[in-house]
């Protein structure tokens, strides 16, 4: 038997689908990649403009708004002690090449909206915003406060949500629409680290290796230059004839070999779903180099293993399965090679133990590897019988007819930074993956998300 309040929430959203889609497209057209700070906009003008857009929209709906110096902002309505928080983000990762349609055009083709941020996270955020508005319109006397939070730095370090948590009230129940259905009750720990090594010197000497944009994106393009000694050139040329990699080219420029490689981008939590161009280059150099250089390139190649074996931290637990390891950025400065890693580690593990194992592994290497600049975001875990978890599972079953178990993710959402909060689902099959080229969301899925979110918000506001 259907709930008449939920039926009215769905009806309100159905009547406002055109407005939801129009505002979605407007929001997508702000190119909210982090850029140079501006007044009241620590993450750049586009993020500032996007935040202004949603807060002005909230004011038009008679919601109270708060702007946290451009780090984040929120809109709120309702009364009561209970606070239901919804945490979405407006910023996006860089675009990269190869888009079929303009990456900030928000064009609709065959029922899908194409743009960076369609699925991560502007689509879910605007759907949740409209869901909150539906609750405000349909249940104006609701005995809880509903707060929609908009962050501007989720993809680049969580400075937005850390600023929010410093001064703002923790929710009684919180949701972050930025995961899989019905929710993720556990998020792996996330560790970013930098490892420096002297440039390989020998028969083949590394002069340059560059590629990548962020820790949490698989490198899809990379280039390198090496200098080859006269003694080593014959060996290299013989191996070049046998080297395998159709996505890599190598061209002689005097005694230097210029190398370019093309891979496939993927979210850093799923490195084996992409193809790392920098790793391709190191494998190639390992294959063609004489022994003195080969051993050093081999160590660097093995260091980047997607399971963490090269760092000495491969492993798993029963709740969240395997550790993953992504190389997101490589660069050289004339003296050193710098490698930026992004680890996603099991929820029962401790960051300090991982760091100790990495240091011990590096100490055994031949490349004088040095660990630097470690940051660690500990895991998140809610038991399956937690009322927040059970309520969302029940709502998803009521909306879809499917009883689906909560999941575990390697990605990191606002839920790990905000007390009493879990990440909930976004999109369905056919929608584009986060952080990838030609990201897209089906228009009908945008509408369906808004209905499910409204039901969840209403239940969390009224559950005993």
Secondary structure letter of residue 217 according to DSSP: B
- Look at residue 385 and give its three-state secondary structure: coil
Active site residue 433: no
Max CA separation in the chain (angstroms): 83
What's the rounded Cα separation, in Å, for the pair 294 and 365?
Answer: 14
Tokens 């303009």 correspond to what residue? Answer: 102
What's the rounded Cα separation, in Å, for the pair 400 and 408?
Answer: 21
CA separation, residue 253 to residues 165, 257, 259, 289 (Å): 54, 6, 11, 17
What's the rounded Cα separation, in Å, for the pair 144 and 220?
Answer: 46
Is the distance from CB of 225 to CB of 205 less than 8 angstroms? no
What's the rounded Cα separation, in Å, for the pair 54 and 90?
Answer: 10
Tokens 């708060």 correspond to what residue? Answer: 66
Please pick, among 76, 121, 153, 154, the residue that the annotation labels catalytic.
154
DSSP, residue by residue, 173-198: EEEEEEESSSEEEEE-EEEEEEEEEE
Burial of 60 (C-beta count, 10 Å sphere; 0-12/13-18/19+): exposed
Number of Cβ within 10 Å of residue 452's Cβ equals: 24
DSSP, residue by residue, 80-100: SS-EEEEEEE-------S--S
- Look at residue 430 and give its three-state secondary structure: coil
CB contact set of 104 (below 8 Å; sequence gap of 6+):
28, 29, 30, 31, 95, 115, 116
Read off the tokens for 330.
């490589």
- Look at residue 231 and give its three-state secondary structure: helix
CA nearest to 435, candidates 273, 280, 308: 273
CA nearest to 139, candidates 62, 81, 77: 77
As a whole number of Å, the CA-based R_g of the chain is 24
Is the distance from CB of 324 to CB of 308 less than 8 angstroms? yes
What's the rounded Cα separation, in Å, for the pair 321 and 410?
Answer: 10
Active site residue 110: no
Please pick, among 34, 91, 299, 399, the residue that the annotation labels catalytic.
91
Active site residue ranges: 91, 154
């Amino acid at each position: 038997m259907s709930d008449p309040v939920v039926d009215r929430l769905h009806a309100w959203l159905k009547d406002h689908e055109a407005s939801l889609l129009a505002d979605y497209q407007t929001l997508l057209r702000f190119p909210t990649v982090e850029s140079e700070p501006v007044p009241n906009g620590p993450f750049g003008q586009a993020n500032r403009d996007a935040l202004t857009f949603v807060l002005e929209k909230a004011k038009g709906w008679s919601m109270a708004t708060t702007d946290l110096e451009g780090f984040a902002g929120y809109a709120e309505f309702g009364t009561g002690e209970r606070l239901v928080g919804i945490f979405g983000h407006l910023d996006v990762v860089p675009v990269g090449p190869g888009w079929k349609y303009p990456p900030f055009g928000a064009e609709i083709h065959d029922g899908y909206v194409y743009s960076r941020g369609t699925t991560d996270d502007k689509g879910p955020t605007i759907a949740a915003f409209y869901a909150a508005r539906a609750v405000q319109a349909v249940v104006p006397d609701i005995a809880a406060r509903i707060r929609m939070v908009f962050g501007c730095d989720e993809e680049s370090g969580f400075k937005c949500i850390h600023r929010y948590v410093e001064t703002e009230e923790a929710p009684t129940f919180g949701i972050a629409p930025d995961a899989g259905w019905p929710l993720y009750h556990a998020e792996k720990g996330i560790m970013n680290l930098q490892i420096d090594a002297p440039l390989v010197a020998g028969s083949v000497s590394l002069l340059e290796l560059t590629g990548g944009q962020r820790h949490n994106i698989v490198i899809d393009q990379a280039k390198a230059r090496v200098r080859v000694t006269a003694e080593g050139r014959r060996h290299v040329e013989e191996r070049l004839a046998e080297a395998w990699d159709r996505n890599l080219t190598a061209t002689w420029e005097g005694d230097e070999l210029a190398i370019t490689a093309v891979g496939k981008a993927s979210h850093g939590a799923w490195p084996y779903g992409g193809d790392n161009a920098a790793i391709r280059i190191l494998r190639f150099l390992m294959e063609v180099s004489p022994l003195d250089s080969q051993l050093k390139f081999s160590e660097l190649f093995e260091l980047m293993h997607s399971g963490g074996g090269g760092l000495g931290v491969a492993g798993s637990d029963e709740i969240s399965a395997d550790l993953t390891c992504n190389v997101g950025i490589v660069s050289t400065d004339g003296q050193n090679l710098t490698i930026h890693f992004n680890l996603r580690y099991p929820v029962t593990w401790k960051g300090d133990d991982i760091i100790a194992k990495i240091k011990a592994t590096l100490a055994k290497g031949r490349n004088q590897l040095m660990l630097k600049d470690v940051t660690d975001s500990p895991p998140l875990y809610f038991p399956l019988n937690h009322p927040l978890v059970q309520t969302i599972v029940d709502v998803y079953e009521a909306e879809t007819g499917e009883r689906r178990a909560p999941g575990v993710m390697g990605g990191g959402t606002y839920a790990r930074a905000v007390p009493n909060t879990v990440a909930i689902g976004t999109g369905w099959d056919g929608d584009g993956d986060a952080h990838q080229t030609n990201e897209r969301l089906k228009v009908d899925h945008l509408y369906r998300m808004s209905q499910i979110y409204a039901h969840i918000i209403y239940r969390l506001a009224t559950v005993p």
